[in-house]
C-alpha cells in the first residue's frame, strides 16, 4: 500500500475510496484502466437521449465582436424526465407535490440561481478555471429545497466566455430565462408524474451577480436600489434637494416608493430613446443618475422581443417574447442566508440582531429597521452601506413570497463544480461542456435508485454492507427487537432530512420533548434506520461533556449536524436552531 500511495500523487482519503470500491466490485479489475477509457465510460453514463431529445444542447449568444459564442446547457425538460425515470425518490416527490396542486393545470414556479465559482487554487494569478454556474429547481419542492440534489445544473460557462458576450452575464441570463420559462410553458408529460406545467418565478444570487444580470449600477450609481424609485446614495446629497428623493440610510421604510412594472419600463425606455441622441459622456451621466446601465442584449433591454422583468416587491422576468410579463421574483437576500434548513432568512444579519428562529413578517420588518437605526447611532450615517437598505426589503419579500431561500444549499452544490473543475488541467474549448456533464452525472448517480421521497428521505448512503453479528446483537439488546430473520445492513453515513450525516458527526436528536446531543458512530438498516450515538452531557453554555457510552436511536429523530470543537474532555458547539 505504501508503494501504491507513492506511485503518483493522490490524497489518502481518495485512494482509500478507490480501494474500497475495487474491494466491493472486483469485476472492475477486468476492465481497461486507461484514463481515456474512464473518460469515455463517464461520458456514456451521461449521454441521455429521450422523447424530448438530447440532454446537452447549445445556445448561441452574440459576442462583443459580432461573432456567435456557443455555450452548452442541460435541457431542463430532459433533465426532469431523466431524473424521474432513474430515481424513484425524485419521481415520488414530484408526484406527491403534483397531487397537491389545485387546479390540476396550475403552473409550477421555477427558481434560478447564478454564481461565479473558482475551482482550483484561488490565489493563482491566472484564474482560467473561474466559471459561472447556473442552477434551477421547482419552488413547489418546498422543504426539499434544502437538499443540493434538488437543484439541477443548467449550464457551466467559463468567465472568459461570459466576458466575450455583448452585455456579459445579462445576455447569458436572458438566454437562460428564455429556455427555462419556455420549456415547461405548455406543459410536458413526465413518466409517473403526469403533465407538468411551470413558469419562471424567482431568481436568487449574490449582489454581484444581480448587478450584472439586471445591469443596474448598485452602489456605484446615484440610485443604488433597483427595488425603489426614490432611493439615492447618501453621499450624493440629492436627497437634500427634495423632489421626493430619500437617502438610503433612512430607517423609516414607508418613505420609499417601490418600483412597479410601468416605472421600471419607463427607465428602460428612456435610456433606449436617449441612446442615439446623446454623446458618450452625456449618456454615461444619464446612466449614473438613473442607476442603470444600457445594453441592447441585456435581459431588461431586449427591445426586439420585449424580454424584461417585473417589479412587484420583487424583481421578475417573463421568458415569453411579449409585454405581458408574468411575476418572476428575485430575492434581494445575498449569500449567507440560513435560519432553518432551506427556507430561511439571512444568517449573518439575523444573528447580529439576535434572531435565529422563525419570525413573523411584522417582527422581521421591525428588527430590520431597529438594526439600521442602531447602526447609525453606533457609527455614523456615512458608514451605512446600501446593504443595510437592502435588508429593509426582507419583510416585503417575505410577504409577497411566503419565504426566503437560503444560499448555503447552492454553496454546497458548488462542490461538484470545484471537484471536477480542479481535477481537469486542460482548460480548453470543451472544458465547460465536460464540466457540465460531470456535474450532471454526479447528481444522476446520487439520485439513481434512491427510494422513498426527497421530502423526508432517511436512509443509508453507500457503501452498504452486511452487519456483523456484534452489531445485530447490540441493536437487539438495546431495542428489544428480534432480528433473527431480518436482513441487517450497516453504513458509515446516512441521509437525514436535510443533507448527510457521517461518522463522528455531532448531531441533535429530538423525540417529543426529549433532546439528545451525541456523536454518531454507525448506521444500521433493519426494516427501519437506526443510528448508534454516544450521548453527551451539558457542561455549560454551548458546551458538552464528552461521553463514550453508546445507545441506538431512530435515524429519523436526527434533526441536524452541529459544528463543534474538542477542548479537553468537553466540546464547544455552535448554537443552532433546527
How far is it, in rounded angstroms, from Cα 171 to Cα 481?
A: 61
Buried b (16+ CB within 10 A) or exposed e, 383-415: ebebbbbbbbbbbbbbeebebbbbbbbbebbbe
Average pLDDT score over the chain: 80
Per-residue confidence (pLDDT) for residue 331, from 0 to 100: 30
Q: Is 137 or 455 the better-scoring residue by pLDDT? A: 137
Tell me the Cα Rg of the chain: 26
Segment holding 539, helix H or strand E: strand 528-540
Name which of 362, 264, 378 is nearest 313 in CA terms: 264
Beta-carbon contacts of residue 417 (< 8 Å; ≥ 6 apart):
117, 119, 131, 133, 156, 435, 439
Beta-carbon contacts of residue 332 (< 8 Å; ≥ 6 apart):
210, 227, 314, 315, 390, 393, 394, 397
Q: Give how far Cα 53 sits from Cα of 47, 200, 306, Å.
A: 11, 22, 28
How far is it, in rounded angstroms, from Cα 154 to Cα 232?
A: 36
Least confident segment among 108-112, 147-151, 404-408, 559-563:
404-408
Buried b (16+ CB within 10 A) or exposed e, 235-273: ebebbeeeeebbbbbbbebeebebbebeebbebbeebee
Q: Give how far Cα 274 sits from Cα of 167, 216, 301, Å.
A: 18, 17, 13
Q: State the Cα angle at 345 between 344 and 348, rounded to 5°.
A: 125
**% of the chain at pLDDT higher than 90:** 23
pLDDT, average across residues 205-209:
87
- Quickly state the pLDDT bin for 358 (edges 50, 70, 90): low
Inform me whether the pLDDT recorded for 341 exceeds 70: no
User: Could you tell me if 292 and 221 are in contact, meaning their C-beta atoms sit under 8 angstroms apart?
Assistant: yes
pLDDT, average across residues 133-137:
95
Query: How does pLDDT run across 283-321, given as a tens digit for each residue?
Result: 999 999 898 999 888 888 764 444 433 332 233 322 222
- Number of Cα atoms under 13 Å in the Cβ half of residue 256: 26
Q: At what angle do helices 169-183 and 76-86 cross, to 10 degrees?
A: 50
- Number of Cα atoms under 13 Å in the Cβ half of residue 47: 6
Per-residue confidence (pLDDT) for residue 274, from 0 to 100: 92
Name which of 152, 196, 19 is nearest 446 in CA terms: 152
Per-residue confidence (pLDDT) for residue 69, from 0 to 100: 93
Per-residue confidence (pLDDT) for residue 479, from 0 to 100: 84
Residue indicated by cell numbers 466491493: 24
Least confident segment among 114-128, 382-396, 473-487:
114-128
How far is it, in rounded angstroms, from Cα 353 to Cα 478?
A: 44
Number of helices (H), then strands (E), in the chain: 17, 26
Query: How does pLDDT run across 144-179, given as a tens digit for each residue?
Result: 887 888 899 999 999 999 999 999 999 999 999 999
How far is it, in rounded angstroms, from Cα 431 to Cα 125?
A: 20
Per-residue confidence (pLDDT) for residue 117, from 0 to 100: 92
> Which triple of cell numbers denotes residue 412?
454546497
Per-residue confidence (pLDDT) for residue 294, from 0 to 100: 92
Q: Which residues pair with 538 in a beta bridge?
A: 544
489-491 and 506-511 beta bridge pairing: unpaired
Least confident segment among 28-32, 110-114, 235-239, 310-314:
310-314
Q: Which residues pair with 209 in a beta bridge?
A: none
Beta-carbon contacts of residue 84 (< 8 Å; ≥ 6 apart):
90, 91, 94, 190, 191, 192, 193
Q: Is 347 or 143 the better-scoring residue by pLDDT? A: 143
pTM flag (> 0.75): yes
How far is it, in rounded angstroms, from Cα 465 to Cα 458?
A: 17
Describe the strand order of the beta sheet including 500-502 as a list of residue ranges: 459-460, 493-495, 500-502
- Quickly state the pLDDT bin for 576 (edges 50, 70, 90): low
Per-residue confidence (pLDDT) for residue 302, from 0 to 100: 66
Per-residue confidence (pLDDT) for residue 166, from 0 to 100: 92
Buried b (16+ CB within 10 A) or exposed e, 476-504: beeeeeebeeeebebbbbbbbbbbebeee
Query: How does pLDDT run across 79-131, given as a tens digit for each residue?
Result: 999 999 999 889 988 988 888 765 556 789 899 999 999 887 767 766 788 99
DSSP string across 474-528: HHHHHH----TTS--EEESEEE-SSSEEETT-EEEEEETTEEEEEEEEEEEEESE
User: Could you tell me if 544 and 517 are in contact, meaning their C-beta atoms sit under 8 angstroms apart?
Assistant: yes
Query: How does pLDDT run across 519-546, given as a tens digit for each residue?
Result: 888 878 877 888 899 999 988 888 999 8
How far is it, in rounded angstroms, from Cα 118 to Cα 156?
A: 12
Per-residue confidence (pLDDT) for residue 163, from 0 to 100: 94
Per-residue confidence (pLDDT) for residue 350, from 0 to 100: 36
- Quickly state the pLDDT bin for 265 (edges 50, 70, 90): confident
SS3 371: helix
How far is it, in rounded angstroms, from Cα 15 to Cα 12?
A: 5
Amino acid at each position: 500500500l505504501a508503494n501504491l500511495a507513492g506511485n503518483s500523487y493522490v490524497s489518502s482519503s481518495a485512494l482509500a475510496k478507490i480501494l474500497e470500491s475495487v474491494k466491493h466490485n472486483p469485476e472492475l479489475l477486468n476492465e481497461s484502466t486507461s484514463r481515456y477509457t474512464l473518460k469515455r465510460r463517464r461520458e456514456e453514463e451521461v449521454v441521455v437521449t429521450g422523447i424530448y431529445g438530447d440532454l446537452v444542447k447549445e445556445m448561441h449568444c452574440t459576442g462583443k465582436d459580432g461573432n456567435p459564442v456557443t455555450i452548452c446547457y442541460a435541457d431542463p425538460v430532459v433533465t426532469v424526465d431523466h431524473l424521474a425515470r432513474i430515481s424513484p425518490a425524485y419521481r415520488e416527490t414530484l408526484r406527491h407535490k403534483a397531487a397537491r396542486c389545485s387546479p390540476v393545470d396550475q403552473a409550477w414556479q421555477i427558481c434560478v440561481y447564478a454564481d461565479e465559482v473558482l475551482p482550483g487554487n484561488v490565489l493563482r494569478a491566472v484564474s482560467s478555471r473561474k466559471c459561472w454556474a447556473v442552477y434551477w429547481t421547482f419552488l413547489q419542492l418546498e422543504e426539499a429545497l434544502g437538499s443540493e440534489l434538488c437543484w439541477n445544473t443548467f449550464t457551466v460557462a467559463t468567465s472568459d466566455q461570459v466576458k466575450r458576450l455583448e452585455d456579459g452575464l445579462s445576455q447569458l441570463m436572458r438566454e437562460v430565462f428564455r429556455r427555462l420559462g419556455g420549456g415547461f410553458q405548455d406543459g410536458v408529460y413526465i413518466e409517473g408524474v403526469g403533465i407538468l406545467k411551470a413558469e419562471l418565478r424567482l431568481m436568487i444570487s449574490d449582489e454581484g451577480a444581480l448587478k450584472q444580470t439586471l445591469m443596474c449600477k448598485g452602489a456605484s450609481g446615484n440610485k443604488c436600489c433597483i427595488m425603489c424609485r426614490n432611493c439615492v446614495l447618501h453621499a450624493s446629497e440629492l436627497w437634500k434637494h427634495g423632489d421626493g428623493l430619500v437617502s438610503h440610510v433612512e430607517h423609516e421604510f414607508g418613505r420609499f416608493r417601490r418600483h412597479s412594472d410601468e416605472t421600471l419600463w419607463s427607465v428602460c425606455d428612456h435610456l433606449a430613446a436617449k441612446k442615439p441622441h446623446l454623446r458618450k459622456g452625456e449618456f454615461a451621466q444619464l446612466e449614473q443618475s438613473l442607476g442603470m446601465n444600457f445594453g441592447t442584449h441585456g435581459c431588461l433591454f431586449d427591445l426586439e422581443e420585449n424580454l424584461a422583468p417585473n417589479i412587484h416587491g420583487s424583481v421578475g422576468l417573463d421568458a415569453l417574447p411579449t409585454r405581458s410579463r408574468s411575476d418572476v421574483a428575485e430575492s434581494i437576500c445575498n449569500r449567507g442566508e440560513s435560519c432553518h434548513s432551506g427556507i430561511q432568512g439571512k444568517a449573518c444579519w439575523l444573528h447580529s440582531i439576535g434572531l435565529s428562529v422563525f419570525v413573523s413578517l411584522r417582527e422581521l420588518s421591525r428588527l430590520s429597521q431597529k438594526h439600521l437605526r442602531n447602526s447609525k447611532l453606533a457609527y455614523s450615517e456615512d458608514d451605512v452601506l446600501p446593504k443595510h437598505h437592502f435588508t429593509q426589503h426582507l419583510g416585503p419579500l417575505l410577504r409577497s413570497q411566503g419565504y426566503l431561500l437560503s444560499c448555503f444549499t447552492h454553496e454546497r452544490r458548488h462542490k461538484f463544480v470545484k471537484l471536477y473543475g480542479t481535477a481537469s488541467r486542460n482548460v480548453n474549448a470543451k472544458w465547460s461542456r465536460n464540466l457540465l456533464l460531470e456535474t450532471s452525472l454526479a447528481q444522476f448517480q446520487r439520485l439513481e435508485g434512491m427510494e422513498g421521497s426527497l421530502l423526508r428521505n432517511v436512509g443509508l448512503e453507500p457503501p452498504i454492507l452486511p452487519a456483523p453479528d456484534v452489531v445485530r446483537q447490540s441493536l437487539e439488546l438495546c431495542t428489544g427487537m428480534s432480528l433473527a430473520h431480518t436482513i441487517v445492513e450497516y453504513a458509515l453515513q446516512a441521509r437525514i432530512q436535510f443533507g448527510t450525516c457521517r461518522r463522528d458527526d455531532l448531531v441533535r436528536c429530538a423525540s417529543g420533548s426529549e433532546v439528545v446531543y451525541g456523536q454518531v458512530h454507525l448506521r444500521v438498516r433493519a426494516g427501519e434506520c437506526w443510528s448508534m450515538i454516544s450521548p453527551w452531557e451539558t457542561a455549560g453554555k454551548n458546551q458538552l461533556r464528552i461521553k463514550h457510552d453508546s445507545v441506538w436511536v431512530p435515524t429519523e429523530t436526527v434533526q441536524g449536524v452541529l459544528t463543534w470543537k474538542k477542548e479537553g474532555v468537553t466540546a464547544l458547539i455552535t448554537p443552532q436552531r433546527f
